[in-house]
């Protein structure tokens, strides 16, 4: 199984008021098995922007906490015409362009998008390609 990690998961690793046990479990598994994880390239930009806005040491945290993960074996999908076309199907379902890229990547890789975005998850819940981490870990996580 490939797990597509949403930016909403990563920011919980560094913002105390957003911490969540399931986000920490995702981080542990990324460190142990980075090849089981994927992100669209926009992940890095989203996490960087949030940390710069909300963390007192955003750049430092990004450099020490996110860059090593991105360079550690996790699959990073650039925006391609194919991904854009697949994402368009999710935009048609109501997702933002950003969220649609995560969903399309999960769909393309036959994986599961791990997110804290309740609204986005609910829009595509019937497709079984997302897991809302405020509710549970994926059933086949272990």
- pLDDT of 54 reads 97
As a whole number, mean pLDDT of residues 3-24 equals 97
Q: What does each C-alpha distance from 123 to 25, 70, 114 come to in angstroms?
A: 25, 28, 14
pTM: 0.96
As a whole number, mean pLDDT of residues 81-104 equals 98
Q: What domains are there in the chain, each with its CATH number?
A: 3-132 (3.40.50.1010)
- pLDDT of 139 reads 86
pLDDT at 32 over 80: yes
pLDDT tens sequence across 120-130: 999 999 999 99
- pLDDT of 34 reads 98
- pLDDT of 142 reads 73
CA atoms 3, 24, 47, 138: torsion sign: positive
DSSP H/E element including 132:
strand 130-132
């Amino acid at each position: 199984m490939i797990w597509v990690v949403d930016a909403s998961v990563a920011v919980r690793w560094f913002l105390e008021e957003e911490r969540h046990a399931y986000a920490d479990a995702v981080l542990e598994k990324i460190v142990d098995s980075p090849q089981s994880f994927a992100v669209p390239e926009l992940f890095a930009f989203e996490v960087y922007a949030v940390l710069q806005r909300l963390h007192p040491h955003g750049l430092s945290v990004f450099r020490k906490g996110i860059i090593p993960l991105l360079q550690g074996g996790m699959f990073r999908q650039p925006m391609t015409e194919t991904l854009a076309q697949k994402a368009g199907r999710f935009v048609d379902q109501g997702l933002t362009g950003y969220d649609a890229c995560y969903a399309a990547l999960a769909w393309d890789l036959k994986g599961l998008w791990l997110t804290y975005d309740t609204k986005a998850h609910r829009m595509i819940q019937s497709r079984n390609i997302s897991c809302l981490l405020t509710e549970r870990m994926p059933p086949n996580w272990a």
